[in-house]
Structure 1
Amino acid sequence: MLGHPDRALAGAADRVGSASLPFGIFTIRIALIAHIRHPIAPPFMGGMESHFHGLARGLDAAGHSVTSFAAGGSDLPNLKAICTQPCEEIYPRERFAGSDALQAYQLSAFRLAWDCIASGNFDAVHNNSLFPEVIDWAVRDGIAMVTSQHVPPFKAMREKVHGVLGDERQQITVTSRHQKGLWSADDPPNLSVVHNGIDLTRWQPSARRHDRLLWYGRITPNKGLALAIKSAAIADRPLDIIGTIEDRAYFEVEIAPYLTGKIRYLGHLSGPQLHEAVAASRAVVATPMWDEPFGLVAAEALSSGVPVLAFDRGALREVVGPCGIIVPAADIAALARAMQEPDLPGPSVCRQRAEQCFSITQMIAGYERCYCAAMKAQAGTGGDSSASSAFKTTLLLA
């Protein structure tokens, strides 16, 4: 069974001072649960996969003991595969969204993960599954858990989250202040903002720059690529496109007919090729047609020293800050004018914002505070305990 909370927190406190850990934070034994739509491995299908990969490796690098529960084919520290194939390979969302078959497949996988967690020896669980029932299981079994919300509220998840608001054993995190307001109009103590972090060593500025704009991401209607293409045509500016084609019909009808010499589709790049393409661009264009919970593309661009031209949806204004131009949502004329703007923020300004706000180190520190809050609440320790002292240390990382 999962270690008794008092013993687990005391054991964690005994591990304070591990030489491999920054800031004197103790080692935490963490069970990480991923969503299983795609494998958590490069080339990443989207922001959630990239985030989880960085989270697992960041926690491992910080000296924590990490066990990753994810789909087979994932590239993660101490992987425990909870299904042989990701959902999308067996029950693609386009055909099976909301189906009993997809629900049963997910339920089987996450039950397997939970059985392993409940019989293991973990200090805390970090739930990134987007599967609402996992919250019920943590409450039922008395397990300290952090649940990270990577998408706007949907009915089943909203109900589960609202059921634990105020219960500090169950910490809830969102990726932006904008998202926090969608989950609760109040300020419950267990609802926190932890911005996504990116690997600043991979997303670096480049001395090789050209005049082409870049749009990259999943090619699907809610990412708004068709509007970016229209704006580039109006502005008479060259635009490169990188990404996996998630909606083939959308690509064939809305994208392919408009590919010209100035507007090019470069395929699905990853790793150094993608990093180089971003860092070489004049600006990155972000055109979400939904309330983007964070906007990882924007943060990666800033880390690469590249400004962002974006629709004002979701958290993009919060992420971009002064390092680009934000225009009204779906306003292609305004976006075209932004594309023509000759004086955009320079590389050093963009890079500095990423370093200050969106590093993996800062993200890990934010999650460490949440793990400790959940563990402390679960154990019910007093203010004089050694575990409480360790917890206070984490608060200095804010």
Structure 2
Amino acid sequence: MRIGIIAHLKHPIAEPFAGGLEMHTHLLARALRQRGHAVTIFASSRSETSLGLEAICSETAIASVGTAEATDIAFFQEHHAYLSLMNGLRHRPFDIIHNNSLHYLPVTMADSLPMPMVTTLHTPPFCWLESGIRLCSANNNALVGVSQSVANLWAHVQPVDAVILNGIDLEKFAFHADPDPDDYLVWYGRIVAEKGLHLAIAAARQIGLPLRIAGPILDEAYFRDVVAPMLGKDAIHVGHLAHNELARLVGGARAFLCTPLWDEPYGLVVAEALACGVPVAAFARGAIPEIVNDSCGVLAKPDDVRSLAEAGRAALSLDRHACRTRAEEICDARRMVDSYENLYRRMIRSAAHNDSSGHDVPSRFASPNPPIPFVQAERSRAHG
């Protein structure tokens, strides 16, 4: 298949990844190319060229900046980058477009394309993207939720056509049967207020183990005013690590503390920790309860440091092999890519049938044996 993937533009699709969306886009493009598909990724200029990159904007041009005037300029630069792309795609020989951006224009303009499009919903509804989906009149656009939690949050706007859990490259997050001799807990991810790092630091101190912290500082004010004053010998920020270094850090931990202050749409960091064999103690928010079960983690009351500390202490005794098994069952990227390939093919067949029949075919892309979304399959096993 000839597949075009539309990325978001604020950060490059390259290591070290700014966040889970960048990693997901990179993994999907790379896996599809390895399976023999012709993949072009439309992304920012500093993205990895081996992915078949066509740069449509410099991420430095649209980065969030301080003044209102500069922010307005960035908004229009991003708007026009996507507008130019969507107009150009009308004349490109793609079989399908996968919209992995968070921008309103690609989904709004889906009906202008001659080929079908998949739009993956990576976040709960927010005003711009919600308006784009409400304005989308295309029969050839399928909506995918990255978790059942996300699907539920979008149901009042538009029901999703499939739930496909995100996946990770299990080989890149190798299993560590034993933790590092220097007992420590780990927290990693984007350092922004909604990730709740300050609560992880407080909980780690109650547990009585040092906390190692990795990730890019994307909210300077939050880091300066809230996080930095809490750092010390028992809470160290080791920086923004490359993939291999990060996997070693995570794999050596006794447990991973996950502290989202919002409904986490999926939680790639949870999947990565489990793949390394590291038990998880996490606030029960968003999709995290879909990934973590009693064999691999302990859920805590959201925003409650004491509850998280109790969960962290309980997680220390969980079996590391069981954590890896859980990751293999529901977090393997190969399952994710299989599901997207199946969806692409159904949509392409539907579009071809529509063209040949000369009339509009109901395009919810149903098939006689549609793939069961991973989360639903897991629930069936759990209750069957």
Distance 1:374 1:242 in 2: 40
**1:248 Cα deviation from its structure 2 partner:** 1.7
Q: Which moved more, 1:93-102 or 1:172-181?
A: 93-102
Q: 2:66 matched to 1:92? A: no
Whole-angstrom CA distance in 2 between matches of 1:350 and 1:122: 40
**Structure 1: stretches of 5+ with no match in the other structure:** 1-27, 384-390
* Letter aligned with residue 79 of structure 1: L
Deviation at 1:79, TM superposition (A): 0.8
Partner of 2:118: 146
Q: Which residue of 2 aligns with 1:236?
A: 208
- Change over 3 Å in CA distance of 1:61–1:231 after alignment to 2: same
* Deviations, residues 61-111 of structure 1 (Å, cap 9, x unaligned): 12211011111111142111112x21xx23432536894312211122213
Counterpart position of 2:79: 107
Q: CA RMSD in A?
A: 2.5
CA deviation digits over 1:344-384, x for unaligned, max 9? Answer: 3212111111111111111111111221232233233599x
| Cα 1:354–1:382 shift into 2, 3 Å | farther
In structure 2, which of residues 169, 179, 191 is the aligned counterpart of residue 199 of structure 1? Answer: 169
Secondary structure of 2:239's aligned partner: coil
- Residues 368, 394 of structure 1: 8 Å contact kept: no
**When the two structures are superposed, what TM-score results if normalisation uses the length of structure 2?**
0.87
Equivalent pair of 1:169/1:375 in contact (CA under 8 Å) = no
1:373 lines up with 2:342 in the alignment: no
Q: Please report how far the alpha carbon of residue 268 of structure 1 lies from its aligned counterpart in structure 2 after TM superposition.
A: 1.2
CA contact (8 A) 2:12 2:46 kept: yes
1:315-348 Cα deviation digits (max 9, x unpaired): 1111222310111110001111122226532121
5+ residue gaps, structure 2, are 357-365, 374-384
Q: 2:148 aligns with which of 160, 164, 177?
A: 177
TM-score normalised per structure 1: 0.84
Correspondence 1:268 to 2:240: yes
* 1:341 maps to 2:319: no
SS in 2 for 1:95: coil
Which residue does the alignment assign to 1:302? 274
Offset, 1:258: 1.9
Structure 1 192/230 Cα, relative in aligned 2: closer, same or farther at 3 Å?
same
Higher relative contact order (CA 8 A, sep 6+): 1
Tell me the alpha carbon deviations over residues 16-71 of structure 1, each in whole angstroms, 9 at most, x when there is no partner: xxxxxxxxxxxx11011100000000000000101100010011112211011111
CA distance in 2, matches of 1:221, 1:212: 23
Name 1:14's counterpart in structure 2: none
Identical counterparts, % of pairs: 37
Contact preservation (8 Å) 2:257, 2:281? yes
- Deviation of the 1:234 alpha carbon: 2.2
Cα separation, 2, equivalents of 1:131 and 1:174? 16
For 1:303, give the aligned amino acid.
A
Matches within 5 A, 1:324-335: 324-335=297-308
Task: Find the aligned partners of 1:361 and 1:397 in 2 and give their Cα distance.
Answer: 15
- Structure 2 residue aligned with 1:79: 53
Q: Quote the offset at 1:162 in angstroms.
A: 3.8
Structure 2 residue aligned with 1:7: none
Q: Structure 1 pair 301/116, CA: closer, same or farther in 2 (3 Å)?
A: same
2:125 and 2:153 in contact (8 A); partners too: yes
**How many residues were matched structurally?**
360
Alignment partners' CA distance in 1, 2:343 and 2:353: 15
Deviates further, 270-279 or 92-101: 92-101
Q: Which amino acid aligns with 2:111?
A: V
Secondary structure of 2:348's counterpart equals helix
Asked if 1:293 is matched to 2:265, the reply is yes
Cα separation, 1, equivalents of 2:355 and 2:22:
38
Flag the 1:298–1:204 CA change in 2: closer, same or farther, 3 A: same
For 1:197, give the aligned amino acid: G
Question: Can you list the C-alpha shifts for 1:150-178, whole angstroms capped at 9, x where unaligned?
Answer: 1111123223324558x652101111000
CA distance in 1, matches of 2:315, 2:273: 18
**Residues 284 and 299 of structure 2 are in contact (CA less than 8 Å); yes or no, is this contact kept in structure 1?**
yes
Counterpart Cα distance in 2 of 1:263 and 1:213: 9
Report the Cα offset of residue 186 of structure 1: 9.3
Relative to structure 1, the CA distance from residue 232 to residue 125 in structure 2 (aligned partners, 3 Å threshold; closer, same or farther) is: same
- 2:109 aligned counterpart, secondary structure: helix
